[in-house]
Amino acid sequence: MGTRGSTLVGSMPAKKEPDTSSYSGRIAARIRELREARGWTVAELAEKINGRVRKAQRISQWTVHSWDNGARAVNPD
């Protein structure tokens, strides 16, 4: 079992649908929609985001997974 921030995809919880009745749920659904349309995994999206931000702002694969499922709101900063 992987730890937080691990690159082990097998440690991720099962995929669930975000609650689209809220703004953050609609953002989460859109992130997933765009990620899947490009054929990217959660790990690939995290890698692509991290390639475009400062080191102090890097995010974990777990954070992207949480956005994808609507379990965590996206911080626009």
Average pLDDT of span 4-16: 53
pLDDT at position 1 is 41
Query: What does pTM read for this prediction?
Result: 0.68
pLDDT at position 14 is 59
The owner of tokens 């692509």 is: 48
pLDDT > 50? residue 8:
no
pLDDT > 60? residue 2:
no
Query: How far is it, in rounded angstroms, from Cα 30 to Cα 77?
Result: 18
How high is the mean pLDDT of the chain? 80
